[in-house]
Structure 1
Amino acid sequence: MSTPDLVIHYNLARFEISAARLDQCPPDTGAEVAFAGRSNAGKSSAINALTQQNSLARTSKTPGRTQLINFFSLNIEGLKIVDLPGYGYAKVPIAMKQHWQRHLDAYLQHRESLRGVVLVMDIRHPMKEFDEMMVHWCEATGVPLHVLLTKEDKLKRGPAKNTMLQVKKTLKERLGDKVSVQTFSALKSTGVDQLRQRINSWLLEDLTEDDSEA
């Protein structure tokens, strides 16, 4: 059973460090959840909505400009949120995209403290090439995946629900109980509580197990 002290206050999240390569990342201890998504999918806005901070994750008017792995520490020691680079629309040379993908893959393959991935997709354009790459990686490694279908406010309720059900059906066939899917709107702050509950279940799992064994 968890103690009252084990409460993540996401509004207290603070920027810790940026890393261009795996060997520049913070020590591989504790537990962290990584956000991934194509440029323009609304990843930065989702992180800002989660933490109730307007500029914690910087949004850029130039898609693909964020090339670094950004770490944010939470109020419980050892717990982190990680903002991974996205490059779906980036107007950069192919060699640069390959560089990003190589270091992103190194992080996903070797980061022992990674507990789950939040994959951010624009609900109007789900399951593009980058999304497929991330799903395939989670499928291969068994790392839990939570799909955040953002910009729900851009669709009417019926089409939004239908898209969510279709994405969920497709991914459940591949990942089983290792995947969950929800709709989300940073603009209207809908889905934030559901997102927090999913991240809590990943980040606090080890801590609550340690507490129950004490």
Structure 2
Amino acid sequence: MSGLIEDSWILIPVSAVCCYITHPTASGKPHRTLDSRNFSVNNCKSSTAKNGGFLLSTNMKWVQFSNLHIDVPKDVNKPMITVSDEPDTLYKRLSVLVKGHDKAVLDSYEYFAVLAAKELGISIKVHEPPRKIERLTLLKSVHIFKKHRVQYEMRTLYRCLELERVTGSTADVYLEYIQRNLPEGVAMEVTKTRLERLPEHIKEPIWETIPEEKEESKS
């Protein structure tokens, strides 16, 4: 990674600094020579010298650089991709049930989730379960006037997203992405159907595992 730094100051914690010093000449043109000096950092007195645009101090050496490209070394020892020998988990089906009270919010979130699944190459199906309506009838007043009542209605809308044949790493990435962008007032329920290998004791028919001696005794 390289960046352009103009007229910046950097700290060089060294005891020897090389700098250019400008000397006037008879012709009037400046003449620059390379000067290398050793500065002692053990001296308690802090003396400062400024020569040719460079600021030098005995305790800390400040050097001004202009229009320099500085390359920042990257950590080459740190691997960018980790490889594991463990087999990845396989899911036959991944059901994501989303519920909320605002239809416009659910429609917008459904469009976002389907678009994200298509970008990852996941086959997705969407269906809308029937809505659930809860009604609560209460007195309009706190204690009296039984004839005057008020009714409250709570409507819960649902969206069901079904993903088929998904690996564990892809499912983790997709679920984390859509969960981080879950709108306020919207709940999510995830159901995973995982594929498992058959155990060793039921791979073969049970009659093939019976010893021959028992078969002869039965006959």
What TM-score comes out, normalization by structure 1 length? 0.20
Query: Would you tell me which structure has more helix in proportion to its own residues?
Result: 1
Instruction: Name the TM-score, length of structure 2 as normaliser.
Output: 0.20
Greater C-alpha Rg: 2
Higher strand share: 2
Whose RCO is larger (CA < 8 A, sep 6+)?
1
